[in-house]
Amino acid sequence: MNFDSGTAYQELAVKLERLYHEAAPALIERVRSLLDRAAAERSAALKAVDDARRAHPGWTEASGETVYACYVDRFAGTLDGVIGKLDYLESLGISWLHPLPLLKARPIDSDGGFAVVDYRAVDPRLGDMPVLEKLAGEMRARGMGLMLDIVCNHTAREHDWARRARQGDPKYRAYYHVVETEAEVQVWEETLIDVFPDTAAGSFTHDAAMGGWVWTTFYPFQWDLNYANPDVFCEMLDILLFLANKGVQGFRLDSAPFLWKRPGTTCRNQPEAYAIVAAFRAALDIVAPSVVLLTEAIESPAHVIPFFGDGRAGCDLAYNNGVMTALWAGLADQDAGIVRAMMTAAAQRPDHAAWLNYVRCHDDLIWNALADYASIDDLTRWSVFYGGGGFSAGRRFQTAPGGVPSTNGMAAALVGLERPDIDQDLALARLRALYGTIHALDGWPMIYMGDEIALGNDRDFEADPARRGEGRWLQRPTMDWERAGSANGGGNPAGTMFDAMRRFGVAARALNDLGITGRATPIRLASDAVLAFAREDGCPFLCIVNLSAASLTVDRLPPWDGLGLDLLTGRKIPAGQVSLLPYEILWWFGGEVAPLVG
Ligand code: GLC
């Protein structure tokens, strides 16, 4: 949001009062000393980035700030390896790199790094703090930003705080939620929804040393932090400041909906969870205003949007999970209805907020997140379709009772590129349509590692005892650099996709220059199979996508009917009728400009 520091202090005070009531005044002084120290330690180079971004409020709303998400080890082995791949990322038009968690995690099973033992150290398997700073610096020099995953909802059971808690230190015991009787556990469980019901049933884990049941929303080794304790808030803020001063320009706040617990609720999306994120934002505005906050909340839009703040402090970015999931659903049904509904919901975001638009990520595709907009029959149909039916080579994943199974699989597998019985040209066209669409939406497009070369599922994960029990490893393959090499200029699927991805990025950035900056506004056309959206009413831009395997003709493009230009190819689109090949995507522009990307 980027407030001046006076306003940010006021915001911070409001949020801390909301969270900690009478403890707030003393806490504000404590936070002030953390902020003063961090401000004194912030380097001139980072302050220059702060000043530059502060001079352009609203810079986060520009299109084409493309993010690339990857696991460090699977992408390039180590952080040094990542530095060696910056040219590759630059050639793809990437502005931001989001490596999945890379801080020191517990050994062996760490839920892919989401069980951290030390937030101030890089996982030694990947590098160390100096090399992280070097990566951040090299990226800054190229005008790119490094966005780190901050696992703020829980620590590993082996974290020093948990270790001390288990040794009986009351200060650290109060960092976690410990329930002393089984009866109390049962009362909480009545309203909680399991995240991993098959592999980690329940939300509590008995720990003899703690003399009770520790709150573990995810795996038993991931201990939920108690944000009702202001010490926890200060610790996490101090970690954010420490990493921001190492040159990190963005944080992905992992599992943000779970930050606050309240009896009788699902303990997700509580008002205090929004206030915590807002307080982090306000504090960063004081010391490191250039740093962006991305909230990870895979929930219904009504629960995600409040993370952007109540018109004041809030996160800058949130995953556009609703539209992403709906795009897959729309492809399965060859019907744009659900996508339009989710776009309308996403358009309710506040002005300063930006969506992180994506097609796939390292987690499962959660159909249940569409439950406010679709019937259980719809959800079931999509779940079955992508769990190995339809054209998909995905697999079903666990779900809590009452929900439908989620889906695992790389985008390339879900569109059909791994199925010999499926037309491969059509499968590739589907992948292109999905990525072309998310680049045309308002917000930042994200490319999940490997999708730029249509990389398929990890077929080996089941041979690895450390991973075989967790289906999400299906979409966490090792980067295939040989395939990436063959993409260069090749007329193969990898090359077609790489080239398309690069063009989408260029075209997305060009939208800013053309003044096409409004939010995506769906438009209903005569054919249900065609998705169309403008970028706010009156703007001469329409993204038009054929979600079906049939060639179609659209008679009119309301409200425009004149000659247009496809911004993706520079091709002229005649007035009146528009013909679309199966899964074709057009970025119709009603102005006279030279072809952008030939
Ligand atoms: C987030 C991550 C997921 C992880 C969970 C627990 O949802 O994206 O991969 O398992 O948090 O940290």
Q: Is the pLDDT of residue 50 over 80?
A: yes
Contacting residues for 3 by C-beta, under 8 A, at least 6 apart: 11, 282, 285, 313
184 pocket-lining for ligand 1 (C-beta < 6 Å): no
Cβ-in-10-Å burial (0-12, 13-18, 19+) of 283 comes to: buried
What's the whole-number average pLDDT of the chain? 95
CA nearest neighbour of 381 among 407, 416, 400 = 407
* 3 state DSSP class of 110: coil
* Token pair 């010999």 in the structure block, residue: 420
* 3 state DSSP class of 571: coil
Q: Find the 174 Cα to ligand 1 centroid distance in Å.
A: 23
Q: How far is CA 185 from the centre of its chain?
A: 32
Q: Find the 153 Cα to ligand 1 centroid distance in Å.
A: 10
363 pocket-lining for ligand 1 (C-beta < 6 Å): yes
Are 362 and 475 contacting, i.e. CB atoms less than 8 angstroms apart? yes
Provide DSSP, 351-372.
TT-EEEE-S--SS-B-GGGGTT
List pLDDT tens digits, range 452-508.
999 999 999 999 999 999 999 999 999 999 999 998 777 899 999 999 999 999 999
Using CA atoms, how far apart are residues 558 and 442, in angstroms rounded to an integer? 20
245 pocket-lining for ligand 1 (C-beta < 6 Å): no
Contacting residues for 4 by C-beta, under 8 A, at least 6 apart: none
Which atom of ligand 1 lies at the shortest distance from residue 363's CA?
9
Q: Determine which residue's CA is closest to atom 12 belonging to ligand 1.
A: 114
Are 156 and 112 contacting, i.e. CB atoms less than 8 angstroms apart? no
Question: What is residue 105's predicted lDDT score, i.e. its pLDDT?
Answer: 98
In a mutational test of the pocket of ligand 1, which residue from 71, 102, 111 has the highest number of ligand atoms less than 8 Å from its CB? 111
By DSSP bridging, strand 222-224 and strand 145-150 are: unpaired
In a mutational test of the pocket of ligand 1, which residue from 109, 114, 203, 358 has the highest number of ligand atoms less than 8 Å from its CB? 114
111 pocket-lining for ligand 1 (C-beta < 6 Å): yes
Using CA atoms, how far apart are residues 510 and 575, in angstroms rounded to an integer? 23
pLDDT level of residue 577 (50, 70, 90 thresholds): confident
Residue 572, H or E segment: strand 572-573
294 pocket-lining for ligand 1 (C-beta < 6 Å): no
218 pocket-lining for ligand 1 (C-beta < 6 Å): yes
Q: Determine which residue's CA is closest to atom 7 belonging to ligand 1.
A: 255
Query: What percent of the chain clears pLDDT 70, i.e. is strictly above it?
Result: 97
Q: For 256, what's the count of Cα atoms within 13 Å in the CB-facing half-sphere?
A: 33
Which atom of ligand 1 lies at the shortest distance from residue 219's CA?
6
List pLDDT tens digits, range 118-159.
999 999 999 999 999 999 999 999 999 999 999 999 999 999
Beta strands in 225-286 (DSSP E): 250-253
Q: Find the 378 Cα to ligand 1 centroid distance in Å.
A: 26
List Cα–Cα distances, 150 to 116, 351, 519, in angstroms.
Answer: 9, 25, 28
In one letter, which amino acid is 262?
R
pLDDT level of residue 575 (50, 70, 90 thresholds): confident
List pLDDT tens digits, range 52-89.
999 998 899 888 899 999 999 999 999 999 999 999 99
Which atom of ligand 1 lies at the shortest distance from residue 114's CA?
12
Using CA atoms, how far apart are residues 433 and 501, in angstroms rounded to an integer? 11
Provide DSSP, 451-513.
GGGT----SSGGGSTTTTT-GGGGG-PPP-HHHHHHHTT-SSHHHHHHHHHHHHHHHHHHHHH
In a mutational test of the pocket of ligand 1, which residue from 363, 364, 467, 472 has the highest number of ligand atoms less than 8 Å from its CB? 363
276 pocket-lining for ligand 1 (C-beta < 6 Å): no
pLDDT mean over 104-116: 96
Q: How far is CA 273 from the centre of its chain?
A: 18
255 pocket-lining for ligand 1 (C-beta < 6 Å): yes
Which atom of ligand 1 lies at the shortest distance from residue 196's CA?
10
Backbone angles phi, psi at 235, to 5 degrees: -60, -45
pLDDT mean over 97-105: 98
Contacting residues for 499 by C-beta, under 8 A, at least 6 apart: 487
Q: Find the 362 Cα to ligand 1 centroid distance in Å.
A: 9
Q: Find the 307 Cα to ligand 1 centroid distance in Å.
A: 18
Q: Determine which residue's CA is closest to atom 8 belonging to ligand 1.
A: 363
- Full-model pTM: 0.97
Using CA atoms, how far apart are residues 324 and 320, in angstroms rounded to an integer? 6
* Token pair 């980035």 in the structure block, residue: 49
Using CA atoms, how far apart are residues 154 and 226, in angstroms rounded to an integer? 9
Backbone angles phi, psi at 376, to 5 degrees: -65, -30
Question: What is residue 241's predicted lDDT score, i.e. its pLDDT?
Answer: 98
Question: What is residue 598's predicted lDDT score, i.e. its pLDDT?
Answer: 45
Are 205 and 213 contacting, i.e. CB atoms less than 8 angstroms apart? yes
Alpha helices in 264-406 (DSSP H): 271-287, 301-304, 321-333, 337-346, 376-386
332-348 burial, b for 16+ CB within 10 Å, e for fewer?
A: bbbbbbbbbbbbbbbbe
The length of the chain is 598
Joined tokens for residue 351:
């002005």
In a mutational test of the pocket of ligand 1, which residue from 254, 358, 408 has the highest number of ligand atoms less than 8 Å from its CB? 254
Q: Determine which residue's CA is closest to atom 4 belonging to ligand 1.
A: 114
114 pocket-lining for ligand 1 (C-beta < 6 Å): yes
Q: Find the 111 Cα to ligand 1 centroid distance in Å.
A: 8
Q: Find the 515 Cα to ligand 1 centroid distance in Å.
A: 37
Q: Is the pLDDT of residue 434 over 60?
A: yes
Which atom of ligand 1 lies at the shortest distance from residue 154's CA?
12
Which atom of ligand 1 lies at the shortest distance from residue 361's CA?
8
Q: Find the 191 Cα to ligand 1 centroid distance in Å.
A: 21
pLDDT mean over 257-263: 98
Are 550 and 582 contacting, i.e. CB atoms less than 8 angstroms apart? yes
CA nearest neighbour of 493 among 455, 436, 445 = 455
